[in-house]
Each structure stands twice: as C-alpha cells, then as structure tokens.
Amino acid sequence: VDDHEYAASYVRTEMITSLKGPGVIRQHLRMKKIGENDIDDALAQFTPEQQQVNASKLAVKLFRRYHNQPLMRQEQKVRQGLLTKGYASGIFDQIREQVTPQENPDEQEELLEKTAEKLWRRYRRYTGRERVQHFKQGMFRRGFDLDQVQKWLDQQQEGLS
C-alpha cells in the first residue's frame, strides 16, 4: 500500500473518530515506518481549527473526570492530558475560556472542608507548628489555595479555643 495514501487516510480517520492530537498520530505513523515527508503532508489536513475543536472535546471530558479536584489541580490535569494525547502545549491556553467549567464556590468549599478534615486527622501524630506545616504542604500538593487553607486553619483554631 502506498505510504502517502495510508498516512493521509490514517490522519483523516483519527481526526474524525478519535481525540488524538497530531503528536500521537505522528508517533503512530513513525512506528509504521512512514517517511517524515509523508507524515508532514498527511498532518497538514489536521488544521489548527480542527485541533482546537478536538482538544476542546477532550478537555471537557477531562474536566468531567477530575470534577472532584480543586480548580487549579483540574487545570493541571487537563493540560497534562492534552499533552499526553499529542496536542501542543499552547493549545490549552487558546481553549481555556471555552472549556473551563464555572467554578462552583460551594462545591470547592465542601471539597476543601472534606480534604482538610481528612488531612488534619492524618497529621495528628505531629504537634504544634509541625502539624500545621505538614497539613499546609499536603493541602498545597492537592492543589488548594494557601489563603483558603489558612482561613480553614484559623477557623479550626477558633473552634478549639
């Protein structure tokens, strides 16, 4: 089979049926020993507009998957997911406004509360500043804003006194 035709056909099929980006498609064609010129010609069909459409669909899907994460962590995960699927690193910045879900303050607050209580219990073996330090590190690792974490801690301290 003609490599040029195969590459063009493969790119058309993947463009329509899957959410793979040009990087993953290029990698697959390289594994099939298709020449770089044929790959470049075939990928020319995958226009930046089409890439944005497919990346938007994938980003929405990923945001749904990570809905129970803090917003900052969601964006990190979606950005990483797009890179893994072969999209350019700048594409998330182009589609961010279209795909980022509206932040639900109640949901985020509830998530913070639940995670904070869990970590506060986990670090009970530490005392004083050491416990606070471990707690803050854990919350930040999970993608929470340090101001919100500090506010929760202040409320916790008020409740104890």
Contact between 139 and 116 (Cβ < 8 Å): yes
**pLDDT class for 18, splitting at 50, 70, 90?**
very high
Highest mean pLDDT among 98-102, 103-107, 147-151: 147-151
**Of 67, 112, 85, which is closest to residue 28 (Cα–Cα)?**
85
102: left (phi over 0), alpha (psi -120 to 50) or beta: beta
Confidence at residue 33, expressed as pLDDT on a 0 to 100 scale: 93
Q: Quick count: other Cβ atoms within 10 Å of Cβ 6?
A: 15
Confidence at residue 1, expressed as pLDDT on a 0 to 100 scale: 64
Residue 21 clears pLDDT 90, i.e. is over it: yes
The mean per-residue pLDDT over the stretch 108-117 comes to 90
How much is the mean pLDDT over the chain? Answer: 90
The H or E element that residue 137 is part of is helix 128-141
Round to whole Å and give the CA distance between 155 and 149: 10
Residue 161 clears pLDDT 70, i.e. is over it: no
The mean per-residue pLDDT over the stretch 2-21 comes to 93
> pLDDT for 38-93, tens place per residue?
999 999 999 999 999 999 999 999 999 998 888 888 889 999 999 999 999 889 88
